[in-house]
Amino acid sequence: MIIDRLFENVEKKGPVCVGLDTAVEYIPKEFLNKYTSLEEAVFRFNQKIIDATFDTAACYKPQIAYYEALGIMGLQVYKKTLEYIKSLGGISIGDIKRGDIAKTAEMYAKAHFSGDFECDAVTLNPYMGMDSIEPYLKYVKTCEKGLFVLLRTSNPGAADIEYIEGADGKRVYETVGDKIGQIGKDYIGKHGYSSIGAVVGCTHVDEAKKLREKFSNMFFLIPGYGAQGGTAEDVALYMRNGNGGIVNSSRGILLAYKNFEGREMEFDLCAREEALKIRREIDAVKLCNL
């Protein structure tokens, strides 16, 4: 199962998820100018980031919007990036946040779990209802794919909907979590986690312990670290003995070279150093909590 592979990667490599939110302006100009096409430059940038971080990253999460913004060429880069991760035996999470129903959802599931854009897991938005999740489940069952469903996000606007309280006193995100957990019970791996995981931002620490205890079989994809204000101490609250979740960093890793004067062409080595730094910070908190 994909969730067992991910759990074991975290045990071996640490919990860092490298977010490949590759905007053209993130790429050093000197590196861009080495290539005759923008497509080749963006892909080679991704490739060097992946190569440099592969032994210290549990997985990679390309955000499809950055590639869609470049048109057909960008989607070619997205495809080639996913294929490259797969060729190395790595794990890819397509950050697509789809959230539609019926036949449309079936087509999204087919598009991202087979063919040109095939990845190991995808992110989904459940706020149209749980029937927006159902078309993906056959791939989880028969193709060993995984889902990370938006539960409680780290953006300020999360309060607009996710924090509304129902007649039962539960917030919307808690009700969504209960429903995700119910679906996920049929897909539990050997390490006790379901292939139906959840996206849980790490910037709301007051709810962390409650979420981790309540959704004990749910593997978390944890954004919000670094650029959005989340710390290693915050992240540790959402994990269990350093596992049970992956910690995404995108700009912090891709743009790490900007912290060092004159190292633009060593962006891959700087990315590696940042990934290792994040891992060390989280490991230090883990050891303190043992």
Helices 102-113 and 134-142, packing angle to 10 deg: 30
Q: Is 6 exposed, middle or buried (0-12, 13-18, 19+ CB in 10 A)?
A: buried
- Say how many Å lie between the first and final Cα of the chain, rounded: 28
Give the Cα separation of 77 and 120 in Å (integer): 17
- For the question of residue 12 being annotated catalytic, the response is no
CA distances from 135 to 33, 91, 219 (A): 43, 22, 20
Catalytic residue among 97, 110, 170, 258: 97
Would you call 23 exposed, middle or buried from its count of C-beta atoms within 10 A (0-12, 13-18, 19+)?
A: middle
Residue 17 phi, psi (nearest 5): -110, 120
3-state secondary structure of 62: strand
By the 8 A CB rule, do 3 and 120 touch? no
| Residues noted as catalytic | 97
